[in-house]
Structure 1
Amino acid sequence: MTLAFEPFVPDGDEARRWAEQELAEPRYDEAKPTWFDLLARDVVRYLNDLFTPEGGGQVGPLALVIVCIVIVAALVAALIVWGRPRGSRAVRATGRDLLGERDDRTAAQLRADAERAARSGDWDAATILRFRALARGMLERDLIDPAPGATAQAIARDAARVFPDETTALREAAAAFDDVRYLEHRSSEERYRFLSGIDERLASRHPEAVAA
């Protein structure tokens, strides 16, 4: 037995509404090329045209070389400018090793964790977390750029170049971190308050306000 189905043919308004609903799907927006994709496509197409017999015959070899150099330089400049946005520096600062450990917490989160440890009387954890917060804060503000695996003393030296009048305090803060973290000596409330004072002091200052 054969069943016959009459196809449904929408009218003009119904067909337009279906088309609008379909094109409103997010996948169509995601598939659209970005401005950089369009620029790169046009550059490649232009270069291809230059090296064809029709296009290359209109300009000399030296002009071709100059055009290529200018285009490559422009692309490199665009990658440098838009590939490293300043607005994302906090994200970059958290996406890296900190004092030998992978830690994605921000300076504010580390300070909050340090305060919680201090309230519970865990001065060892509070001291370690507070120095990490100090280091993270300097990274987030682009004040230091330590090498991967930098030690607490190396971070203190980098920070001292920005705040030279805090050199002694920063050296003592790094020593306190190393003493607790690696030598496993017990910390104290006094040592934690010393570290938190340095962190708060530096967080409220700007490098341009520091005397040379």
Structure 2
Amino acid sequence: MPTWGDWVQVADGAPVTVPRDAAREAAREELLKPEYHRHDPSLLQRLSNWLWDQLDKLLGQLGSAASNGNTGLILFLVIAVLIGAALWWRLGRPGRAATTTGTLFSAEGPRTAEQHRAAAGRHAVEGDFAAAVREQMRALVRSLEERTLLDPRPGRTADEAAAEAGRQLPAHAEALREAARLFDDIAFGERTADQRGYQQLADLDALLRRTRPAALTPAGAR
């Protein structure tokens, strides 16, 4: 004899019975529809909630283990690591904001693009790719200044140079932005330089040098 849960009312009011397993499967499929889950927390949010839950539990354990010096110290160190990881994840890498404020050229006297290229090549041969990247980016920007595509300006940052050069060379705007980002990350951030990064800048420098001046608009002709 069917139970109350097996009765289903049809459109004309006549009751019919539905097998218990079929009803359960239909309900499961219905609940799997996306409209029932559009407000569910994301994977990152669930991970964040789990991390803070673990931190809360550790704080509770720390209070009960305060009488045991060794246990309390271990829990304190674990909590410190979790807090540091959480702040790193939430706020991002410290010092990244400073990468957009450093100037491109040093305080020493002006040097030609060829001098910067020669210095970059020497650093690359010696395996000092951080210095090679810095000099190669300076060579690229100095070359644009020598060709009057950029106005010489002391204190210019790599990001500013890339933005200004990108307006003159729109076909290479994205490559210039990537070059400035690479320079900033290596010169002022924590990114490790390698031969690939140096070669990326050297190739872009060579590409811009091969661009026909007739197809470009001088900086003073705007």
Q: TM-score, normalised by structure 2?
A: 0.48
The alpha-carbon distance between structure 1 residues 118 and 174, as it changes in their structure 2 partners (threshold 3 A), is same
Matched, 1:180 2:190: no
Give the number of the structure whose alpha-carbon radius of gyration is greater: 2
Rounded to whole Å, the distance in 2 between the matches of 1:162 and 1:193 is: 23
Query: What secondary structure is seen at the aligned counterpart in 2 of 1:143?
Result: coil
- Does 2:167 correspond to 1:194? no
Given the alignment of the two structures, is residue 137 of structure 1 paired with residue 143 of structure 2, yes or no? yes
Q: Deviations 1:66-109 (Å, cap 9, x if unpaired)? A: xxxxxxxxxxxxxxxxxxxxxxxxxxxxxxx9535334211001
The CA distance in 2 between the partners of 1:152 and 1:191, in whole Å, is 15
User: Would you say 1:165 and 2:175 are equivalent positions?
Assistant: no
Q: How many residues align?
A: 115
- Seq. identity, %: 41
Q: Tell me how far 1:186 sits from its aligned partner.
A: 1.4
Match among 155, 165, 187 for residue 161 of structure 2: 155
How far the C-alpha of 1:133 sits from its partner, in A, is 0.3
Equivalent AA in structure 1 for residue 169 of structure 2: F
| 3-state SS in 1 of match to 2:211 | coil
**Does the 8 A contact of 1:106 with 1:136 survive in 2?**
yes
Q: TM-score, normalized by length of structure 1? A: 0.50
> Structure 1: which 5+ residue stretches go unaligned?
1-96
**Structure 1 position 198, deviation (Å):** 0.4
1:203 is the counterpart of 2:190: no
RMSD, aligned α-carbons: 2.0
- CA distance 1:135–1:153, change in 2 (3 Å): same
Amino acid at match of 1:141: R
SS at match of 1:112: helix
Letter in 2 for 1:135: V
Deviation >4 Å, runs of 4+:
none
Which 5+ residue runs of structure 2 have no aligned equivalent? 1-102, 218-222
Amino acid at match of 2:124: A
Shift in alpha-carbon separation, 1:151–1:189, aligned structure 2, 3 A: same
- 1:141 is displaced (CA, Å) by 1.0
Taking the aligned partners of 1:130 and 1:162, their CA distance within structure 2 comes to: 20
Matched residues in 2 for 1:161 and 1:105: separation? 25
